[in-house]
Amino acid sequence: MADIIIVNPRFDISFWGMERCMGTLGRRANLPVSCLALLAALVPEEHDVAIIDENVEEIDFDRLGRADMVCLTGMCIQAERMREILTEVRARGVMTVVGGPMATVEPEGIEDLADVLFLGEADFTFPQFVREWSEGRHASRYKQAEKTDMTTLPLPRVDLLKADRYMFGSLQISRGCPFTCEFCDIIVTFGRKPRLKTSAQVLADLDSFRRSGLKIVFVVDDNLIGNKKAIKPILRDIITWQEAHGYPLTLFTEASLDLAEDEELMRLMGEAGFQSVFIGIESPNEEALKETKKLQNVRPRAGTLIERVHRIQSHGLDVWCGMIVGFDNDDVTAFHVLPGFLTESRIANALIGLLYAIPTTPLYDRLKSAGRIDAPNAVTYGTNVVPARMNQAEMREGYRQVMWQVYEPEAYFERIDKLFIEDRFRFVVHHLPYWQKNRWAWVKRLMANYAKFAGLSARLLSTVKDETLRKVYRRQLARILFERPGEPHILFIYAIKVAMHHHYAAMLVELHGDKLDVPAAAIPYTASRPAEALLS
């Protein structure tokens, strides 16, 4: 029997990590990366396995030094910390095993410190390696020949996570996406044919989150609706499960904009308890969308980008989005149009980043052949791309300015108020016939949300040191309470958005301070991995 520890290195503080408001929200991190619990489940049961997520706990290197094997997973943005951990572990004579996006995309950055390296999916190769290692034989590099059959995956070991330290749980239903966005590495890693779990697997996942005490679950699929026909029966089964248990879980996820073209799918998602959806809009510039092969966003018959966003919102789904600047069809005016676009579309939370060419993507190959990829030591402000129609200084300053224009208090709350006050946005789940039949459950839900709104508001106003911001937050919380007093679920979500602004405000100070290479710009946004590269 072996002692195996799976480690996820800490992320740097970023605009998208919400670190500055985690204390107010009573948590240490937003969510665990989904592979942690799955990797633990893949370890053959005769071995002891533990999970250490540095984002919610300190690493005890003496404890790692007593393990038989330390396994690291991580993304490119965690590369520096991964190397530090690997160096410490190897100095203690412990075997190091590394997989995940960093190992897959840029293995040369860590292979000198890894005894064993996994490229791509490792659902078959990781347990294979552990068995071979137990027998005294194993390879130094593994690459899975076939895509994982999702129906064969075990139930992730959510029980090994320190669930009370996270805001959300992370659940994966499918892998793969049918589209061909040039900058996206998902189609390279997971393929264009979406592969899904069975309903039974998904419901077992939901049961494990309910037992853990986590009440909000992020479905980390890069495109939940990549296979619309296959996801609909799963959504129907989730609806049945939610009704059977009194709707204990709030869900949110990522999807492509063609969600707006399927009325049934939007209805099912709302009834299943999905309240928010992250959509890669990328750019209001249709020529930029065509250039990057984001053709699902350029469909005149389906309506404009804004019309489609409004359609999704009208079905009770709060839209978050990803925006990218730096396409070949972008010049400095691309920064100027974003604030107005977001205001008109009523999207409060927009993850804005500069175009980044990920190794293994078609974009990287094209730009590298044209000599337009910066050397690693020249990468600044989250982009390695040499832009076509503006220089680096213009791109840098444009990013700084647009982030300020989008997240300064008046602009941010104007967008929120357009949706929640002027348009009276409603989440589907709180207006279902289900509650008419379950009045006591409804009353308990109302009281809980009133209490959460009051508690979060009090903590927020007591922890914000800046008097100007505190005054703005007090005004906004009072306004939503006056406008929608009988809808405590709206009050609570609104309070969360106010708390999130406290994080944005702190990052804006750093972004516009004396330091130029600040964390706010250090993490590139790509729509291929918003859940786990940005929210983690």
What would the pLDDT profile of 5-26 be if each residue is shown by its tens digit?
999 999 998 888 899 999 999 9
pLDDT (tens digit per residue) in 471-516: 999 999 999 999 999 999 999 999 999 999 999 998 888 777 633 2
**CATH number assigned to the domain covering 168-418+523-533:** 3.80.30.20
pLDDT of residue 376: 63
pLDDT of residue 518: 32
Instruction: Spell out, as residue ranges, where the chain has pLDDT lower than 50.
Output: 514-536
Among 176, 356, 181, 411, residue whose Cα is nearest residue 280: 181
Indicate the DSSP class of residue 380.
B
Task: Please give the model's pTM, rounded to 2 decimal places.
Answer: 0.94
Strand, helix or coil for residue 18? coil
Cβ-in-10-Å burial (0-12, 13-18, 19+) of 167 comes to buried
pLDDT of residue 189: 86
In residues, how long is the chain?
536
Let me know: does 12 contact 523? Beta carbons within 8 Å.
yes
Domain 3-143, what fold?
A: Rossmann fold (3.40.50)
Phi, psi (5° rounding) for residue 219? -85, 105
Strand, helix or coil for residue 8? strand
Q: 337 pairs with which residues across the strands? A: none
Among 118, 155, 129, residue whose Cα is nearest residue 34: 155
Please give, one letter per residue, the 3-state secondary structure of 442-487: HHHHHHHHHHHHHHHHHHHHHHCCCHHHHHHHHHHHHHHHHHCCCC
Task: Round to whole Å and give the CA distance between 288 and 337.
Answer: 13
- Give the domain ranges of the chain: 3-143, 168-418+523-533
Strand, helix or coil for residue 28? coil
Task: Round to whole Å and give the CA distance between 59 and 52.
Answer: 7
